[in-house]
Structure 1
Amino acid sequence: MECHRKTVTNLDLALKISPPSTVILESLQIQKKYHLKQVESLKLKKQQHERYMKALEYQRRRNPEYLAQQMEKLDKYNELQIAIYHNLDDTDTLLESLQKSRLGGQPEPAAGKAPVDELVSLNHALHLLIHKMAQNFDEYATENENLKEKLRLYEKETENQPAVANSLETGRDALEAIEFHSQELPALAPLELPSFDVSGFENN
């Protein structure tokens, strides 16, 4: 990335001191645009890599075995991404050489092909689409891992629910028994004593 930035700085200096030639100025501007695009591309790659590594670190703490599987997937994904970017770089180099040839006065290929400038624009749009696709892939992968983690936690809670329910039921029964025994007995009405006729005993 730093090399592309230095190249852009040097091209800015060249634009300031270059002779007033439309062809030279256009060539320098095209080169500057190319290197600026490379800087942005490398920034996006770096951000994607950082996000993915954060997600992997989170999984490493949660599940080491799962991390090993994810690292294997990451290696395959990186290989595919590298192959795509190599093809894009080759296309950029080819289009840049075609533009230089056209600016140098050489005739463009015939046979009804699209102009070089249009090809450059389409290639740049392809770059943006691929970067966007890679960014979305990383975001969806991270979101998917978060959802999986939530699902695992939910399943653990579901497994523990019967034991918790039994414990609560036992505790409820114990509380009801304590409450029953602690209740005070209601006050009873006084007993009515029967009346006895003791007059017979008094006469004797």
Structure 2
Amino acid sequence: MKLNKCLFLALFTSNAAFADYGISLIKFTCIPELGFFKIDFDTVDGAAATAGVKSDAKSQQEWRKLWEAKGLYFPQKLTYECEFKQNIYTVTTSQPEPHGGRCGAQPPVSLTLQENGTEIFENISFGPNCSGEPTTISINVSNPPVGWGSRDISALIESQPDRKLIYLALGDDMTKVNIHQNEITKYFSKFSQ
């Protein structure tokens, strides 16, 4: 009887027993008339999101279009532009295909944000990862039309695994900004000591 209880508990505490997986999504809110661009990470339960979807290419494409019609995009190989009157913001993301092994069901997303071809963020971790490194979960660009204020770019970054949040405001002087993941990790290490 003890063996049965142990086996039962092992099934419900083992990672291998759970078939759930997350599907990474990137949400863009681009409103050039108001000088507003926001990039957010989201995740949905993979089993629930794909229930009833056929595995053929046409069905998969139609399923993806449903998400994209609502502003949610899959980050595997993505390029998105938000064009303001005076600036073009380009986001590129990449994510390896899901695979077996540790963290393989939802691999980390890498994101680069450019303003008029100049990199602001380069290959930063975007959304949850299991590497233990801090990860960016949201980026805001405020670039109001003339006379409404100055340009500002900010990011919300979360440390792993303690989930502390840092609001990083880059301000309006972007002439020397090119932030990499190792700089974010180094910055967060000051707070974890």
TM-score by length of 1: 0.23
| Greater helix content | 1
Higher relative contact order (CA 8 A, sep 6+): 1
Which of the two has greater strand per residue? Answer: 2
Bigger radius of gyration, 1 or 2? 1
